[in-house]
Amino acid sequence: MTAPVYENTDAFAYGLDAKDPLRPLRDEFLFPPAASGAPTIYLAGNSLGLQPRKARKYVQMEMEDWERLGVEGHVHGRHPWLPYHELLTEQVARVVGAQPVEVVVMNTLSVNLHLMMVSFYRPTRERFKILIEGGAFPSDQYAVASQARFHGYDPKEAILRLTPREGEDTLRPEDILETIERHGKEIALVMLGSVNYLTGQAFDLREITRVAHAQGCKVGFDLAHGAGNLKLSLHDDGPDFAVWCSYKYLNGGPGSLGGVFVHERHAHSPELPRFEGWWGHNKATRFEMGPTFDPLPGAEGWQLSNPPIFQLAALRSSLELFDKATMAALRAKSDQLTGYMEFLLDRLPAGFVTITTPRDLKQRGAQLSLRFKGEPKRLLHRLAAAGIICDFREPDIIRAAPAPLYNTYLDVFRFVKALEAHALE
């Protein structure tokens, strides 16, 4: 495929935006104002997505039904609360490439990760290890270590960590597969992120799953930085489970509900160990309040409690926009946005910035992780004062994530031009 030809001018950025079929979706979001009163250049959607304009309306609708109906809102609301989470099922299934029976919106990410490991981390004397990234998000590291201890294993022996080669920032795909093949008979669970939060590196979920399953391992993925970012195909890729949050690229709001994928092959496996709760019980008999748990088929059978309606309402407003856009179109624009940012960054003075995210489009999503010469925290504050919002991660990384639902090519151009001004001081 011919590489895109970019130009280092604002006229070129304006031209790309003018031809962008997703450009109207930007107007569906609310941007924090800069000190000047103009909208910020918001490149932190990988940390917290922007508020969709309709989120307030959808939440307010449920507030009004609560006021008007009280408990009757469960069955007589404009969108009855008892089945409300089902309004999001097909939408979120399209986002992650799953069958509706394989997904459910519930809880938050780390809670869901623990629930999934109850079912899919079943260690034995011979096979008890968990493979993770050495640089995995801390909550994932805490979760797998605590699960190992819960089963009576020392995390120092039970946790295998993938680390980059000496002098490199990211993992080589072949090293991931070689580690699984070498240690496969000891590994009970391969538990990786789909995109590393720090480096922005995306992994080949299908190939990892194939190699791990061939070794007899269970496979789970943390999609915190993948859901709404990558074009996922969980059903076809075949992992046993996946979990994600919805406050990053999915724009569900701070602390918003997470989601779970359980592959269809486990849909009718009531014998799978799990922690049980009444909302995962057969809907037809749930309110008979019987003493014996009868799990729903599919991912819904892992539900514990009835979900918070206001959070579901806010998330629904965003998922509607994903349906309008489609993940294929979003992914195509994302590649162009990061490609343009990469092109512009490469033209800054030598030594000022290093891109630590892979340059291979197949190994990244919407995020570029940048290591700057000098004091990156000071630079971050100066960018914020100029109305440009990114974020910092220890020890020395500024993350910039142009989200294709609402960011523009002009955002990218202006961001790099602001960096250039600092580089030339």
Catalytic positions, please? 137, 222, 247-248, 399
- The answer to whether 65 is a known ligand-binding residue is no
Q: Annotated binding residue at 222? A: yes
The total number of residues shown for the chain amounts to 425
Which phi-psi region, left, alpha or beta, contains residue 336 (left: φ > 0; alpha: ψ -120 to 50)? alpha
Residue 369, annotated ligand binder? no
Enter the DSSP assignment of 364: B
> 44 and 390 in contact (C-beta within 8 Å)?
yes
Burial class (CB in 10 A: 0-12, 13-18, 19+), 414: middle
On the CB side of 95, CA atoms within 13 Å amount to 34
**Residue 140 annotated as lining a ligand binding site:** yes
Distance from the Cα of residue 281 to its chain's centroid: 28
Query: Is 278 annotated as belonging to a binding site?
Result: yes
Token reading at 81: 């609360």
Residue 225 is assigned to a ligand binding site: yes
- Annotated ligand binding at 137? The verdict is yes
Would you say 139 is a known binding-site residue?
yes
Phi and psi at residue 389, in whole multiples of 5°? -105, 115
Q: Is residue 247 part of an annotated ligand binding site?
A: yes
Return the sign of the alpha-carbon dihedral for residues 393, 397, 402, 406.
Answer: positive
Tally the C-alpha atoms within 13 A of residue 248's C-alpha that lie toward its C-beta: 24
Q: Identify whether 24 is preceded by a cis peptide bond (ω within 30 of 0).
A: no
> Would you state the structure tokens that stand for residue 90, as one six-digit string?
């097909």
Rounded Cα–Cα distance for residues 149 and 154 (Å): 6
Which amino acid belongs to residue 123? P
Annotated binding site for pyridoxal 5'-phosphate: 109-110, 137-140, 222, 225, 247, 278, 306
Q: Which amino acids are annotated as binding site, given as ranges?
A: 109-110, 137-140, 222, 225, 247, 278, 306
